[in-house]
Structure 1
């Protein structure tokens, strides 16, 4: 008795990419500019990301794609390392994916941080409510950034202790006498206050730590021109006895500015 041999049709893997047909390419070229990737994906059955990739390979641009302005790029460069990505996305009215993609293009992308352990969260609860530790000190003990520490504390509903109080005459006199001799941190330690409290009081009283800005000399300008693109900005600042921001701001008028330099130097 002959047995019937049943053969099953060989199925293609579901994740195999499907080639674009002539009709689909024609639709892409005709409708992508005015309708966008979502419309083409729905009509052709290709994934949304596949449509965008195909359009980019053909050099087709869509009016639905929001171009990044120079202001947005500068904002991203300035805040990417200190603010959560979702916060930047809300400020720029963009998606998180859009912000991360632009960060990759600018070579400043950072992968999503690891989940905090129970021990780290427990330590955060203990240190956050202790007024003897500043936010920077809490972050240092946890081995986290200030932004990450602040965000997790806010997410957990933690509140910093109230440290505000009325200044006594003796404390005000001490501040007036020592604000040019000691740092705010040292004065805060002597008075049993936080550094920010001392800083705000000094600003309210009109006390200024900085005098007149140091004028730039021709020798300093020549040194920046010769070394700005050869050695780190920090070394130039130390050599000239100035701050990094001062050197970077001076590089602009000298015609040798690099907008991404300060952010790459922090890596």
Structure 2
């Protein structure tokens, strides 16, 4: 029978309930003790759970039950409740996160704040908190890994659920002696871990299969390799719904101009998923770094104005030297601004008349190029198409050359005025 993986719904934040070992053991009857006035009654617990499911804040639940926020938070932690909350983060939660993020496992902190682990990671990144050192796996995390491997949940979804890297989950499962339900019998744990590690480098499946063979593993084709990795949860994002904390983190990246590459690794999202969500949030074009992450300084308004004024009128290399930029950078920026090089613009009827008159009256091709603001080679090629070759021996002669300094500058108007054959062009 073919096993298929089990995708998780977006609202799932826990695969299996964790029962502390102390509660799981059989206990002897306790002696009767005096009733405490602050004890939690069954009715209060049910009210708390109902308000929690309705996504009420801790302050709201505390006001409803007539208890302090600390008491409500402690009771939620003791009950092990977790949720993908849609509530905004309050100052108290941010302070608690900043204080404890690097000192205790994220899963424990998520339980105390009644948030999902992925929400904790996204919020911590938004607040600029440093990555904590790898904390030991908690009993709750081990329970989720066991349940996920047994149910055939993709490993990538398990890692996103508990907030651990993909490779870390695989290593922990191997230490626990677990075998994924979707793993074929002919794949060893070592081969699976190695294939996932190579896939994380971005190598193609055919290249991964070849590298595995070179390392002594069985020969696989790219199709079976890809199917196996996808069953285990490898992919460029696994289609889960975006939560509010992830949206806030994406907005923050676009506002501050931060690189999106660490964001993809943090959220476990593909570049396509990041772009799709940015478009959905209407973040396209709002990135503070207009040039993206190309090397070199950002173009200023003055530089763009200079480029608009000179592009196509003087050689592009001179523009690049003046602006202190590379030739390719200038060409890219001109294309981005929609500028058309003057040497490449189509010839108009007046320019065609000017070229014909210049050919008939013996005006040099260099003077025509200067008058029309084009390259002499472009003028020569276009004149040849019109049947007027400037290097043709049969071309009418202009007479003896004079020094350029003593000649009248040639302009488009002076060339057009040569239609009457008796009008001289130069002194």
Length-normalised TM-score, structure 1: 0.33
The structure with the largest alpha-carbon Rg is 2
